[in-house]
Amino acid sequence: MGRAGRIASIAVLAGLVLTLAFVAPSDPPAPRASAPAQISGADAGPDYGDTLRRCRTVTVAHPECEAAWEAKRRRFFGQGEEER
């Protein structure tokens, strides 16, 4: 191995050592706040599971489907009845 090869290998080795020196002491991410224990039945909205499955294929306006999708949107975006 010539002089240039030795210099290149030392540079690569030094790069690896510096990388490990910066990465090794970094702290692991702090634990996030725990999730709420469980939503009670009073807090949960009505279950529109069967209605939404049936409404996926509806091609015309259907009041029951529109109400179910709107309730799902409100729950997803965290908007209660009082915010409407």
Terminal-to-terminal C-alpha distance of the chain: 76
Query: What per-residue confidence (pLDDT) applies to 42?
Result: 57
> Is residue 59 in some structural domain?
yes
- DSSP-based three-state secondary structure for 52: helix
Residue for token pair 């910066």: 22
Instruction: Read off the tokens for 77.
Output: 């975006």
The domain of 69 spans 47-84
Query: What per-residue confidence (pLDDT) applies to 50?
Result: 81
Distance of CA 64 to the CA centre of its chain: 30
> Is residue 10 in some structural domain?
no
The verdict on pTM exceeding 0.75 is no
pLDDT at 84 over 60: no
Number of domains in the chain: 1
For 8-66, what is each residue's pLDDT tens digit? Answer: 999 999 999 999 888 877 766 667 767 666 655 555 566 677 888 888 888 888 888 88
pLDDT at 79 over 80: no
